[in-house]
Structure 1
Amino acid sequence: MTAQSSPSHSTGTFDHRMTVFGTDEAFVADALAFLAEGLAAPDEPPPMAILAPDKLDLLRDALGTDARHVGLLPHTDWYTGSAANAVARAAAHLAGHAGPGGRMHLLMEPVWNGRAGRSPRESAEWIRYEALANLLFAPTATTAMCVYDTRTAGAVLIEAARRAHPDTGVYEDPARIAAELDAVPLPPTPSDTQWLAEPAPEAVRAWAAGRGLDPTDAEVFATAVTEAATLGQVTGALLWGEAPGCVCELSLAERIDDPLVGFVPPAAPEPAPGQGLWYARQTCAYVDVRRASGGGTAVRLQYT
């Protein structure tokens, strides 16, 4: 079990912790200590526990009458989509419920036996989220403790997550972790692609509909491509795949190296046209921004 970091932190310093355990008793001990810290913190709303249903039951029993002072939410109601969706959910919740400066205690368990852990690709994106959270939420005074149960999260995943949490002793620069994840090659472009000199919305929408997306999804996908294209000068686009996994790869003349591009929540975090790559990340399962071999940037969007 990892040691918890000191309970105090200054305004504007995101306190991102990790606890690892393999028994119910160890989970309850760590969770109760963390929630007690949140309940005692000044200028904070009640702490939130976002966990698997069985762990919520354990907490209710352990808290007794104090359970009414803690927000208890099944993690399947919080983590409902991609890692980028989790960024939006956290940003919106803090904006609407946190105390001054974002003060709030959040006990959080990703759905490792669901979407987040269903493939190495999904797990890598969630490690990216864990790492980038240190930058995205740095301006807040939020305290988050991520729950890793060795019975549901594998050893490789846990070791990767340790590098994304400052209290583990093996923490690494989030940008370095993101770069390592980006060094893993994407699936090669198939031979049966359609090339567009300019990815006009109507052309992408028509192509997506022809590949089996219903009109609503085809519209959302075309809008995501259009929003991603605002990153720079588009020199061409490739389209391939069948519904629901339609893919578009944009070639941009500019080189984009910012690991946070498309992850920073806008003033209104609900997805809407005009938000650029944020909209694309919120509506597509995967958005990859990679250096192109001949210079510039390749932006690959996969709808589901």
Structure 2
Amino acid sequence: MSTRPAQAPGAFDHRMAAPGTDDAFLAVALPFLAEGLAAPDEPPPVVIAAPAKLDLLRDALGADAQGVGLVPHTDWYTGSAANAVARAAGHLAAHAGPGGRIHLLMEPVWNGRAGRSPRESAEWIRYEALANLLFAPSATTALCVYDTRTAGSALVAAARRAHPGTGVYEDPVRLAAELDAVPLPPPPSDALRLTEPARDAVRAWAAGRGLADADAELFATAVTEAASLGPVAGALLWGEGTGCVCELTLARRVEDPLAGFVPPPTAGLEPGQGLWFARQVCAYVDVRDAEDGGTDVRLQYG
């Protein structure tokens, strides 16, 4: 079933569908694509979905399939939820019509990274919630597909809270805060304590932990970029499996729930972009209020 909220003209139209069969998928996808094909001032609609669903659409659309962009979702969703923000923003900037007009049918890889753990699923629900704020100025129409055969009932129920018009929609900031209220595991007792997360020191420590030189450089740069939110009151470093973790304690409160999610003016990934850079290169970036009125920023690389 697809849900379509009432939207003001030009507003981000964020829909959700939760089909459980191939026929149910086609029942929501085909009208959505027809709507996009008929929309004025729009480029052809794009479907980012599982290859099997793309085959279904090719068969159902016939010759009309040439007018629809069909992208395997494993080619689009290649990293974290923060990477998905960057990919969507870049696509809109390069290919959307005036004001961001385009119809996008989007299915993350729910049987892959997006659904491999409760924490990973929470990252994607946060992304879905914050998308309502990040893309609010655009005239994009997005239909997010949650196939119940792969996404599962718990993920579908959580996603409904991130999509307008579902009857259980939550304010994005409130939903993100609820997800952030889940405590993180405490740092290990043997974590290395630094008063200042100097880039060279972090890089050398990460390389000593076994990270390749390029990865150690990226991790150190991410820590430095996150530290630019400072002032930094201290830092901890420890290993997590084959990866590295740094927790920064900032002596101020980071109030913006979109910190590090808003794409910078420059298209490429480069130092000087602060928490955006950190979110793009790290597997997880957690920003939590500290008890002393400051902020803890935990970065996990690898």
Cα distance in 2 for partners of 1:129, 1:196 equals 32
Amino acid aligned to 2:179: L
Is contact 1:212–1:242 with CA below 8 Å preserved after alignment?
no
Amino acid aligned to 2:161: R
Cα distance in 1 for partners of 2:126, 2:92 equals 20
TM-score, normalized by length of structure 2? Answer: 0.98
Matches of residues 18-167 of structure 1 in structure 2 within 5 Å? Answer: 18-167=16-165
Cα distance in 1 for partners of 2:270, 2:205 equals 22
Q: Could you tell me how far 1:258 is from its partner in structure 2?
A: 1.3
Q: Could you tell me how far 1:76 is from its partner in structure 2?
A: 0.5
Cα distance in 2 for partners of 1:263, 1:238 equals 24
Residues 224-266 of structure 1 show CA distances to partners (whole Å, capped at 9, x for unaligned) of 0000001120011000005632000001000112110000000
Cα distance in 2 for partners of 1:258, 1:83 equals 18
Amino acid aligned to 1:21: P
Cα distance in 2 for partners of 1:2, 1:29 equals 9
Cα distance in 2 for partners of 1:264, 1:121 equals 22
Matches of residues 1-304 of structure 1 in structure 2 within 5 Å? Answer: 1-5=1-5, 10-11=9-10, 13-241=11-239, 244-304=242-302
SS in structure 2 at match of 1:246: strand
Q: How many residues are matched?
A: 302
Instruction: Give the 3 Å change call, closer, same or farther, for CA 243–273 of structure 1 in structure 2.
Output: farther
TM-score, normalized by length of structure 1? Answer: 0.97
Instruction: Give the 3 Å change call, closer, same or farther, for CA 298–146 of structure 1 in structure 2.
Output: same
- In structure 2, the gaps of 5 or more residues are none
Cα distance in 1 for partners of 2:90, 2:283 equals 20
Q: Could you tell me how far 1:293 is from its partner in structure 2?
A: 2.0
Aligned Cα root-mean-square deviation (Å): 1.1
Deviates more, 1:154-163 or 1:237-246: 237-246
Task: List, as ranges, runs of 4+ consecutive aligned residues in structure 1 with deviation greater than 6 Å.
Answer: none
- In structure 1, the gaps of 5 or more residues are none
Cα distance in 1 for partners of 2:260, 2:185 equals 22
Counting aligned pairs with the same residue, the percent is 76
Amino acid aligned to 1:145: L
Cα distance in 2 for partners of 1:159, 1:56 equals 25
Q: Could you tell me how far 1:270 is from its partner in structure 2?
A: 2.5
